[in-house]
Amino acid sequence: MRLHQPGPLTTDRLRPDELAEPVAGAGQLTVRVGACGVCRTDLQIASGDLAARRLPITLGHQAVGRVVDIGPDVTGWNVGDRIGAYWLAHACGHCRFCRTERENLCVEAEFTGWDRDGGFAEYLSVEATIAVPVPDGMTDLQTAPLLCGGVIGYRALRRAHVAPGQRVGLFGFGASALCAIQVARHWGCEVYVCTRSPDERQRARELGAVWTGGYDDPCPVPLDAAVTFAPVGWVVTRALAALDRGAIVAVNAIHLDEIPAFDYADLWWERSIASVANVTRADAREFLTLAAEIPIQTSVDAFALEDANAALMALETGRVRGAAVLAINA
C-alpha cells in the first residue's frame, strides 16, 4: 500500500501497487512481513504534516516478520529467524555519533517508511545490522506496536533519567504511553497521568497509575521526571510546571507545534527540557527483551493490509483504543 501524493486522508490516499519481491543485497535481509503497526508518524507523512522525503513510498516502520533471503556478507541470521524492523533503517557507522553508539543522531541516517520502503507490504528489505531479534512467546500482532511507540517510549524514559521508585508523569496517553507506564511500574515508579480523555484516564488507572487528571488539573506531587506524548507544545509547559527541582521533561514527538512562552520560574532550579530523536539498535534490543520479561501487554486493533487507509483514518479520528496494526501474513 503506497503513498503517491500526500494530502487529506481518503479511502485511496494509499494505493495498492504490485512490486517485485525484494532480493537481499549485500548486508541485507529480505523479510516476509507478518504484521506492521500503524503510527501517528505514518499519518503525518500521508497527510503532508511531515514532508515526504521520497515518493512514491511504502509507509510503516513497525514491522515483524521472518527472514526469507539473506544477502552476501551477512552473519548472525538464518532463514526463518523472526526479526523486527523499526524507525531507524540505516546509519553510516563512521560519523562522530555512530562512533559513540548514538546512531539515532547519525548525520546520514535513513528511516523506514520515510527514506526507505516500509512494512505496509508483504515483503520488506532490512539491513542485517539494524534488524533486531524478536523474543519467543510474543506474537507478530503483539510485537509490531512495540517497535515504535514502545521503543521510543522506553528511550523517552531514559532521556528523562527515570530511576526506580521515582514519581513519573506521563502527559498524553496513547499507544506509546501504554507501554511506558508498564515499564515505569515494572521499575517500581509511582506514575501520574494527565490526559483529556476519561477513557484513557481509566485505562491508566487499570495499568497502575496512582493519580490521573486533565491537563489543567494540578499534579498532586512534584514529579521527579516527566514524558510528554501529545504533539502540542503547550503540554510541554504543563509538564515543566509539574517538575520538582533538577527534573527533566522528555518530549516524545517527531513533529510539534511551537512551545508557547512560559514563566522562567518553571525552568529555574535546574529543570530541563529534552527532545527524543529516533532510537538506537540498543534501545530496540533492550526494550524487546524487557517487554518479554514484564511482559508488556498491548491492545491491538487489527486491519487487513488493503484496509491501511481505514487504519490511518481510525487513528486520525481517535477510534483506535490501543494500537492499529496491519495483519499481513500473521
Choose among 106, 144, 87: nearest CA to 288: 144
Give the end of a domain, one of 239, 255, 275.
Answer: 275
Helix 149-159 to helix 281-293 angle (10° resolution) is 100
pLDDT at 330 over 90: no
pLDDT in tens, 135-184: 998 999 999 999 999 999 999 999 999 999 999 999 999 889 999 999 99
Any idea what the CATH number is for the domain that residue 161 is in?
Answer: 3.40.50.720
Section 103-131 average pLDDT: 97
Taking the C-alpha atoms of residue 32 and residue 132, their distance in angstroms, rounded to an integer, is 15
Strands (E), 78-159: 82-85, 88-90, 110-111, 123-127, 132-133
> What average pLDDT does range 80-105 have in this prediction?
96
Last-in-domain residue among 275, 294, 314: 275
CATH assignment at residue 44? 3.90.180.10
d(CA 181, CA 153): 9
Element (H, E) at 225: strand 223-228
If you count them, how many residues does the chain have?
A: 330
Q: How far apart are CA 318 and CA 312, in angstroms?
A: 10
- Cell numbers linked to 273: 527540557
Predicted confidence band at 116 (pLDDT cuts at 50, 70, 90)?
very high
Are 133 and 6 members of one domain? yes
**14 plus 133 within the same structural domain:** yes
* 156 shares its domain with 11: no
Domain residues for the domain of 81 are 2-146+278-327
Determine the Cα angle at 141 with ends 127 and 38, to 5°: 70
| Phi and psi, residue 223, nearest 5° | -95, 140
d(CA 192, CA 188): 13
Q: What's residue 257's pLDDT?
A: 81
Q: Which H/E stretch holds residue 303? A: strand 300-304
Same domain membership, residue 260 and residue 203: yes
pLDDT tens track for 243-296 = 999 999 999 987 788 899 999 999 999 999 999 999 999 999 999 999 999 999
User: Does 214 lie in the same domain as 232?
Assistant: yes
**Joined grid coordinates for residue 327:** 495483519
- CA 249 to chain CA mean position, Å: 18
Do 50 and 6 fall into the same domain? yes
Write the CB contacts of 317 (distance below 8 Å, at least 6 apart in sequence). Answer: none
Q: What is the mean pLDDT of residues 218-234?
A: 95
For residue 179, which phi and psi values (nearest 5 degrees)? -80, -45
How many domains are there within the chain? 2
160, 265: one domain: yes
- For residue 322, pLDDT beyond 80: no
Question: If we measure between CA atoms, which residue out of 99, 234, 197 comes closest to residue 107?
Answer: 99
Residue 35's DSSP bridge partners are 64, 327
Let me know whether 158 and 138 are in one domain.
no
Task: Quote the CA–CA distance of 43 and 45 in Å, as a whole number.
Answer: 6
> What Å distances lie between residue 66 and 118, 132, 237, 263, CA to CA?
15, 11, 43, 52
Same domain flag for 252 and 288: no
Q: Please check whether residues 53 and 108 belong to one and the same domain.
A: yes
286 shares its domain with 140: yes
275, 292, 317: which is the final residue of a domain?
A: 275
* Same domain flag for 62 and 103: yes
| Secondary structure tally for the chain: helices H, strands E | 8, 18
Stretch 21-45: mean pLDDT, rounded? 95
Whole-model pTM? 0.92
